[in-house]
Amino acid sequence: MLSSDEGGARPDVIMITVDRDITSVRTAMKLGAVGYLVKLFGSADLAERLTAYRELQYRADALGKAPRTDQADVDALFSAARPPAVPRVPSKGHSGPTFALLHQVLRAAPDALSAAQAAELTGVSRATAQRYFSYLVREGMVRLELRYGTTGRPEHLYRSVR
């Protein structure tokens, strides 16, 4: 719950409206709406907003237990209310549901994941996870991190930018 200027609590709100004008959008933002969904929309759009809101609450609760936060925590909290930016029209040879599945696994993971770990969690092959993650890195939706061991190539780890 967000607290209002009057000191009382007010519920979080996701606006569901036919209003498309910028004045309505700005007013909703100023009044503290955590989301804005324009009618007519599909059930997948609503599900994305609700999932993003759940993620916002989860992150806020987790940060509430910490003595302080760093900029990455604050950025993650502010971006958590936005639905994942999975491409609606995937590139040739890619599947939208597979994108969504792999991106959701990364968003839910507390730490960066390797393609092998993501494959184990989702049931896709490691090579498939690697190919999709490479595309998501190029699209700016996932960040690539390298973990260097004592020998051999560095391990590629992936983290959602949200």
Q: Which of 83, 112, 136 is the last residue of a domain?
A: 83
Are 40 and 88 within one domain?
Answer: no
Cα 59 to Cα 33, 54, 104, 143, distances in angstroms: 18, 9, 15, 19
Boundaries of domain holding 31: 1-83
* Whether pLDDT at 93 is above 80: no
Are 1 and 79 within one domain?
Answer: yes
Q: What is the pLDDT of residue 33?
A: 87
- Characterize the bridge pairing of strands 14-17 and 2-3: unpaired
- Where residue 90 falls among pLDDT bands split at 50, 70, 90? low
Within 10 Å of residue 116's Cβ, how many Cβ atoms? 14
Q: What is the pLDDT of residue 4?
A: 46
Specify the pTM: 0.47
Q: Which of 83, 112, 137 is the last residue of a domain?
A: 83
Task: Residue 154: give its domain's CATH number.
Answer: 1.10.10.10
Are 132 and 56 within one domain?
Answer: no
Q: What is the pLDDT of residue 1?
A: 41
- The pLDDT > 70 percentage for the chain reads 86
Mean pLDDT throughout 17-44? 86
Are 78 and 111 within one domain?
Answer: no
